[in-house]
Amino acid sequence: MGLEQEIAKRRTFGIISHPDAGKTTLTEKLLLFGGAIQKAGAVKSSKIRDHARSDWMEIEKQRGISVATSVMGFTYDDVKINLLDTPGHQDFAEDTYRTLTAVDSVIMVIDCVKGVEIQTEKLMEVCRMRNTPVICFINKLDREGRDPFELLDEIEEKLRIKVRPLSWPISMGKTFKGVYSLYEKNLHLFTPSKQTVEEGIEIQDISDARLDAYIGENYAKQLRADVELIEAVYPEFVVDDYLAGKVAPVFFGSAVNNFGVKELLDTFIRIAPPPQPRATTARLVSPDEGRFTGFVFKIHANMDPKHRNRIAFVRVCSGKFERGSNYFHVRQDRALRFSNATAFMAQDRETVDEAWPGDIVGIYDTGNLKIGDTLTEGERLTYTGIPSFSPEIFKEVINLDAMKTKQLEKGLLQLMEEGVAQLFTFVLGNKKVVGTVGALQFEVIQFRLKHEYGATVQFAPQNIYKACWISSDNPKKLQEFVESKQRHIARDKEDKLVFMAESRAWLQMVQENFPDIKFHFTSEY
């Protein structure tokens, strides 16, 4: 098969949700359809159980497990699907943000009882940055949830994306009857805890009297009224609008009952985009270009100090990746040989000899690669769209053992390269501040510095609200700003200037007072 056919049959996506909405359950059902697993319960939940919420070792172990499920490859209806897993724990949200840079589309799971939750809002922001196409799956219809119209309004409002229902629930909770597919014009009846999937009953015309026979007169009446309203309120579904990230088609179902999942998957493989062209510093790279390019979006470290290897996850963007070839490491300006590349299947890894656009390969690395690195066949270009986001918690690193300063610096550098946290170095006094999304990372960093590098540190809380990358069209104004706010200026790992704002109100005031300065909340601008 040629490059173009390989590209056309690939779909690389991620599932995002607030913890507990049903991501793991849906993943498992999708894998069952793909034949990638044989029975339910095979997918380890990447979610951390309540009792372990504060136990980060447990979380690290889970993350260890999740290496195997980092990328779940399976084939369905001749389509090669790569499902990229995202950590469930919100302290590791930054991992999720970065994984979203490597997908071509997203399925978003929303709990019909809880509606749009905060984590989903944040993840949607990340999708919006690249106009990633989103399909919504409203889950747990076997429970008494919120009114479906209200849920759709909430998605539009909170997630700032237009929606278009492609299926519609008939009642919910104890009286949940099933869904009517507005797209396929068929009816799927719900039987609790029945895992087998029945063919839909074709009902082209909603006024068909058979509807009354299947779901009862009252529910049929309600469905007709709902469908009439939907057709009046929501414009026709246009696939191109979905592909442009402007409209999210919505499905309803119950993952745990395997209800509505097949319809979701069938539609997904039909409308979700194959690998798309991607932006680099030099030009747009099309997947069907013959020469291989790819970028590192995730690094997983081995926490055993005796085996300091790590796995770098590379998304193939164009051409064909071949094991054993030399590829050009753009940042280091040299060729590297990758003899030990791994492909990821649902539950195990296997050595791959070749990989195509949309595929993810795992590369064993001893410290050459970091997140955001680009590999090519020689061309000097760097993939963009893999930014750092402003962290939410900031603490100063205090070295408790002056004899181990070198080890501390090395350890910090490597942990930052893995993306565990971000390091900001203040221009005045060289103060080092670590920024993270969650509180757990500080424990992770402290432990790993001690056990892997022999360095002992403490963290001192900092009064910082946000890290804002700053720029200006006027270099003189930027210089003036930096001088006047010297105590609050730091540099990130790439030496970019960052303004460390103490509070929202203060940031607003500074923004007003310095109109020539641009404040950015991600490192790419």
Task: Point out which span in 93-101, 255-263, 303-311, 459-467 binds ligand G4P (CB under 6 A).
Answer: 255-263
What DSSP element (H or E) covers 453?
A: helix 440-453
The verdict on 255 binding ligand G4P (CB under 6 A) reads yes
Is 261 a binding residue for ligand G4P by CB under 6 A? The answer is: no
Stretch that binds ligand G4P, among 251-259, 387-395, 461-469, 481-489 (CB under 6 A): 251-259
Helix 217-233 with 148-158: angle, nearest 10 deg: 30
- Which is nearer to ligand G4P, 173 or 461 (by Cβ)? 173
Provide, rounded to whole angstroms, the least separation between the CB of residue 205 and ligand G4P.
30
Q: Quick check: 89 binds ligand G4P (CB under 6 A)?
A: no
Min dist CB 109 to ligand G4P, Å, is 6
Q: Which residues pair with 253 in a beta bridge?
A: none
Q: Is 108 in the site for ligand G4P (CB under 6 A)?
A: no
Contacting ligand G4P (CB under 6 A), which of 14, 34, 87, 88? 88
Question: In whole angstroms, how close is the CB of 419 to ligand G4P at the nearest point?
Answer: 22
The minimum distance between CB 26 and ligand G4P, in angstroms, equals 7
Residue spans of alpha helices (H) in 390-439: 405-418
Q: Among residues 171 and 414, whose Cβ is nearest to ligand G4P? A: 171
The SS3 assignment for 69 reads coil
Q: Is residue 409 within the footprint of ligand G4P (CB under 6 A)?
A: no
Query: Which alpha helices (DSSP H) does 375-437 contain, by range?
Result: 405-418
Can residue 96 be called a binding residue for ligand G4P (CB under 6 A)?
A: no
Rounded Cα distance, 494 and 222, in Å = 58
β-bridge pairing 186-189 and 293-301: unpaired
* SS3 call for 142: coil
Instruction: By CB under 6 A, tell whether 140 contacts ligand G4P.
Output: yes
Given 94, 142, 418, 452, the residue binding ligand G4P (CB under 6 A): 142
> What angle, 0 to 180 degrees and rounded to 10, lies between the N-to-C axes of helices 261-271 and 23-33?
70
Strand partners, 255: none
Among 114, 143, 185, 520, binds ligand G4P (CB under 6 A): 143
Residue 23, interface with ligand G4P (CB under 6 A)?
yes
Contact between 62 and ligand G4P by CB under 6 A: the answer reads no
Whether 391 contacts 436, CB under 8 Å: yes
47 near ligand G4P, judged by CB under 6 A: yes
Among 3, 20, 58, 443, binds ligand G4P (CB under 6 A): 20
- For ligand G4P, the binding residue among 7, 13, 17, 71 (CB under 6 A) is 17
Per residue in 141-162, is it b (16+ CB within 10 Å) or e — as a string?
A: bbeebeebeebbeebeeebebe
CA distance 13 to 478: 40
Q: Specify the length of the chain in residues.
A: 525
Could you say whether residue 139 binds ligand G4P (CB under 6 A)? yes
CB of 257 to ligand G4P, least distance (A): 6
Alpha helices in 256-368 (DSSP H): 261-271
257 vs 436, beta carbon nearer ligand G4P: 257
- Closest separation in Å from C-beta 48 to ligand G4P: 9
For residue 99, state whether it binds ligand G4P (rule: CB under 6 A).
no
Q: Closest distance between ligand G4P and the C-beta of residue 259, in Å?
A: 7
Question: Between residue 442 and residue 481, which ones bind ligand G4P under the rule CB under 6 A?
Answer: none
25 binds ligand G4P (CB under 6 A): yes
Q: Which residue spans within 324-373 are E strands per DSSP? A: 326-329, 334-337, 341-344, 349-351, 354-355, 360-365
Establish if 22 lies at the interface with ligand G4P (CB under 6 A): yes
Q: How many other CB atoms are there within 10 angstroms of residue 90's CB atom?
A: 17
Q: Smallest gap, in angstroms, from Cβ of residue 179 to ligand G4P? A: 13
Here the contacts of 234-241 (C-beta below 8 Å, separation 24 or greater) are 234/163, 234/164, 234/165, 235/164, 237/164, 237/166, 237/183, 239/271, 241/162
Site stretch for ligand G4P (CB under 6 A), options 18-26, 283-291, 367-375, 442-450: 18-26
Torsion angle, alpha carbons of 54, 26, 275, 376, to 10? 30
524 makes contact with ligand G4P (CB under 6 A): no
Q: How far is the CB of 23 from ligand G4P (least distance, A)?
A: 3
Question: Minimum Å distance from CB 2 to ligand G4P?
Answer: 38
Cα angle for residues 225, 231, 233 (degrees, 5° grid): 100
Catalog residues that contact ligand G4P under the rule CB under 6 A.
17, 19-25, 45, 47, 88, 139-140, 142-143, 254-257
